[in-house]
Structures are given as structure tokens and as C-alpha cells.
Amino acid sequence: MTIDAEKAKRRLAEKRAEIGTHRAMSAEARAPVELDQVAVGRLSRMDAMQQQAMAEAAERARARDLVRIEMAERRIASGDYGYCEECGEEIPDGRLAIDPMATRCVGCAG
């Protein structure tokens, strides 16, 4: 099987758009937590701070995925996309459909 570069580019573009949507939706959750004890009780404020921390962690994961997308686009341009960086075998299309940024086959990733 040969890697379909256009399909790969489309999958990566869809993933990038999905990340952009999630970034926009979580912007408010990442905003600084109001520390006014009159407006919000102590436990509610702690809960808000925990939710903010979780939103920030998710944002860091999205940023890592954007880097992985850029790296995958470079591999497409160089002709290395879709091949395992460890064993050199072709990564099955099903794996690339789930994770278009995958750099290893299932055997080497495990």
C-alpha cells in the first residue's frame, strides 16, 4: 500500500481545525480565577482553580499536538510520512486514521 499524501494532509488539517475549536471553547476555563471571597466561597474558588489547572493541562496537550502536526507535515513533504521511525515498515492506514501524527507502527509503539 502506498501512502496517500492528500488524504494525510486532509486528516492533519481536520485535526488542526479540531484543536482550534477546542482552544476557543476552553479559553474561558483557562482565564484567571477571581479571588473575591465575597462573590465566591472558598471551596467554589478551589474548584474553579482546579478546573483552570485541568484546562491549562489540556491546552498544553493541544500545543504538543500542533507541534506533532507540523512534524507530520514535514514528513509528508520529505516522503517519510507513514513509515515507522523505528523499524521502517509502513504504518497501517487504520492507525493513521486514528492518529494522523503517528510516527511508529503498533508493534514499535507498544
Kindly tell me if the per-residue pLDDT of 67 is higher than 60.
yes
**pLDDT given at position 38:** 56
Question: Model's pTM, two decimal places?
Answer: 0.79
Composition of the chain by helix, strand, coil, percent to 5: 65, 0, 35
pLDDT over 90, % of the chain: 63
Domain ranges of the chain: 5-80
pLDDT in tens, 22-55: 988 887 777 776 666 555 566 677 787 888 899 8
CA–CA separation, 55 and 3 (whole Å): 35
Cα 66 to its chain centre, rounded Å, is 6
CA terminus-to-terminus distance, the chain:
23
pLDDT at 35: 61
